[in-house]
Amino acid sequence: MRRHKEPEVRKSEILDAAQKLFIEKGYAKTTVTDILNVHGLSKGVFYYYFKSKEEVMDAIIGRIVDASVNNAKKIVANPQMTPPQKLCAILMGQGQTEEMIKDRENIAHQFHEAENAEMHQKSLVQSIKCLAPVMAEILKEDNGANTFSTDYPQETVALFLAAGQTIFDEGLFSWSGEERARYGAAFIEMIEKTLGVPAGYFKDVIKIFA
Amino acid sequence: MRRHKEPEVRKSEILDAAQKLFIEKGYAKTTVTDILNVHGLSKGVFYYYFKSKEEVMDAIIGRIVDASVNNAKKIVANPQMTPPQKLCAILMGQGQTEEMIKDRENIAHQFHEAENAEMHQKSLVQSIKCLAPVMAEILKEDNGANTFSTDYPQETVALFLAAGQTIFDEGLFSWSGEERARYGAAFIEMIEKTLGVPAGYFKDVIKIFA
């Protein structure tokens, strides 16, 4: 006899099964039936939780974005880190578990398949929307003589995220090592100047994480 | 008897027909046969010019990007405009003909249909790659006391384009009027600070074009 499972557990099981299939078979080629077959579920159970395969993908993206937002919140709350260290840590994706990175990479690989560009866009938009308010808190912190100066903390970090996540996306641009290094330097210059801290301020912080 | 047409004319005819169909029916729903039927062409003629429907879309994106690059080049070469006017004119898409704007809007509408996210990404990547070197020339111009200061002109404008084209894309983010205004102000602040010109420098220039 099938044990009765908590709705959240069941939902999470469906998401795990779907995520695995999307990575292995591709999003377009995976059917709702494929997802159901993993745990022998009925269509009724599936449609109780989700309207469509697209909604499953949205929920998977939501989980990945939530994980990175929770990670960012931990960094913001860390009393041992200075504001620039926090900002760089989040921009560079520090502090994420191996599982988080693997999940994101696997899904990102799917994003770069032609038919999955939509998920890629959704994930970019969600991560900008959710990370910007968390990161904006860092810009408001007291940072002594180098307190960040911007009248638009949330919008400014959103612009940084949009620029960085587009230009450094290896599925979109295939830069040479030299080009990548120049873009990295230009990105840091832009952040330093926009936040009104001395040139090289973030460069030193980034070395700590390198 | 069918008149013999120049290859470029024929190619352009196929692109025009395909562009019209992609806009009317959607990219996914348009078949190669649909494209051929517009001018009663054979498959042989089609495959002489293009490998696939995807290659037709790439060529359409290429035409649109080329038109905006040519427009940018004219602005850069305009002796009546100051460097900040040129930069703003290109970032704000000034000087484009109504046809160019209509073409881009129609195609952009298609981009925002779920299945067309890939074209949207391609168009973003191509326009950043092609516009950045042209715009970088402006940053190198003598602008008197307010000459732009960046060691990475091309990379810096590419970051501006990536941030602006993502955040201000109405198909990706649906900002309220107030949010949009804040993003606009943050974007201008970022550009001014990064290029080392006084606060409000571009704000005044933008008013001219408003």
Q: What is the pLDDT of residues B15-70, one digit of tens each?
A: 999 988 888 887 878 899 999 999 888 899 899 999 999 899 889 989 988 988 99
What pLDDT does residue B33 have? 93
Q: Is residue A106 part of a domain?
A: yes
Pair (B174, B153) in one structural domain: yes
What is the percent of chain B with per-residue pLDDT over 90, rounded to a whole number?
A: 36
Pair (B92, B79) in one structural domain: yes
Q: Taking the CB of residue A107, how many other CB atoms lie within 10 A of it?
A: 22
CA distance A183 to B44: 44
What pLDDT does residue A142 have? 73
Model confidence at B206, in pLDDT bands (50, 70, 90)? low
Pair (B94, B176) in one structural domain: yes
In the predicted model, what is the mean pLDDT of chain B? Answer: 84
From the list B121, B150, B167, which residue is nearest A159 (CB)?
B167
Cα A59 versus chain centre, distance: 14
pLDDT of chain A, 210 residues: tens digit per residue: 455 678 888 899 999 999 889 888 878 788 999 999 998 888 998 999 999 998 998 899 899 889 889 999 999 999 998 888 888 888 876 556 667 667 766 666 665 565 567 777 888 899 999 999 999 999 888 777 777 878 899 999 999 999 998 998 888 898 998 998 899 899 999 999 998 888 888 876 665 444
CA distance B13 to B65: 18
Please tell me what DSSP assigns to residue A76: H
| Residue B8 token pair | 């470029």
Q: Output A150-156 pairs: Cβ under 8 A, ≥24 positions apart.
A: A150/A194, A150/A195, A150/A196, A150/B186, A150/B189, A151/B185, A151/B186, A151/B189, A152/B182, A152/B183, A152/B185, A152/B186, A152/B189, A155/B182, A155/B183, A155/B185, A155/B186, A155/B187, A156/A194, A156/A195, A156/B186, A156/B189, A156/B190
CATH number at A138 reads 1.10.357.10
What pLDDT does residue A97 have? 65
Closest CA to B76 of B163, B180, B153: B153
Nearest CA in chain A to B118: A117
Pair (B24, B82) in one structural domain: no
What pLDDT does residue B209 have? 45
Pair (B23, B79) in one structural domain: no
CA distance A168 to A176: 12
| Interface confidence (ipTM) of the complex | 0.83
Domain that holds residue B142: 53-209
CA angle centred on B143, ends B87 and B127, rounded to 5°: 20
Strands (E), chain B: none
CA distance B203 to B182: 13
Residues of chain A contacting B54 with CB distance shorter than 8 Å: 114
pLDDT exceeds 80 at position B208: no
Q: Is residue A66 part of a domain?
A: yes
CA distance B56 to B13: 11
Total domains, chain A: 1
Pair (B103, B185) in one structural domain: yes
Task: For chain A, say whether B193 makes contact (Cβ under 8 Å).
Answer: yes
Q: Is residue A145 part of a domain?
A: yes
B residues 7..46 contacting A (CB < 8 A): none
What pLDDT does residue A109 have? 65
Pair (B189, B88) in one structural domain: yes
Pair (B188, B146) in one structural domain: yes
* pLDDT tens track for B109-135: 665 565 567 777 888 899 999 999 999
Instruction: Write down which residue in B50, B68, B88 finishes a domain.
Output: B50
What pLDDT does residue B210 have? 42
A residues 103..142 contacting B (CB < 8 A): 114-115, 117-118, 120-121, 124-125, 128-129
Are B145 and B151 in contact by the 8 Å Cβ rule? The answer is no
Model confidence at B197, in pLDDT bands (50, 70, 90)? confident
Q: Is residue A203 part of a domain?
A: yes
Judged by DSSP in three states, B29 sits in coil
What is the percent of chain B with per-residue pLDDT over 70, rounded to a whole number?
A: 84
pLDDT exceeds 60 at position B207: no
CA distance B113 to B26: 8
Query: Would you mind telling me the total number of residues written for chain B in this entry?
Result: 210
Q: Side chain identity at B27, as an amino acid letter?
A: Y
Closest CA to B107 of B20, B34, B170: B20
Pair (B168, B125) in one structural domain: yes
Task: For chain B, say whether A190 makes contact (Cβ under 8 Å).
Answer: yes
CA distance B57 to B43: 17
Mutate to test the interface with B, among A167, A168, A201 (most CBs of B within 10 A): A167
pLDDT greater at residue B85 or residue A163 = A163
In order of A27, A66, B93, B141, the CA distances from A60 in angstroms are 12, 10, 36, 48
